[in-house]
Amino acid sequence: MLYLSGLEATFMAVWILGILVAAALILLKSPDLRTRILLLVFSIAVPVFGSVAVIIYGVFKLFRKRPANQRT
């Protein structure tokens, strides 16, 4: 069975949210141009910021110091 950590699940949720917002933008027939532009910006920004956050967290975990008693 597939096991996802909390970080992986959050990453997937962020990407899915971005896709859903993009789909809402396509399906929305709002005459308000401002609303459509804000949805487009949000649908692009959410996955990008989520990816950057995951990369920063991964680099932080990679370079953090482990206690001496855990080294083998």
pLDDT in tens, 52-61: 887 888 888 8
Position 58 in a domain: yes
Residue 10's domain spans which residues? Answer: 6-66
Q: 6-38, pLDDT tens digit by residue?
A: 877 887 887 788 778 777 777 777 668 887 778
Q: What is the distance between the alpha carbons of residues 60 and 34, in angstroms, rounded to a whole number? A: 38
17 CB-contact burial (10 Å; exposed 0-12 / middle 13-18 / buried 19+): middle
Position 71 in a domain: no
Position 16 in a domain: yes
Provide the number of structural domains found in the chain.
1
Residue 43 has pLDDT above 70, yes or no: yes
What is the predicted pLDDT for the residue at 57? 82
Amino acid identity, residue 37? I
Helices and strands in the chain: count of H runs, count of E runs: 2, 0
Position 1 in a domain: no
Position 37 in a domain: yes
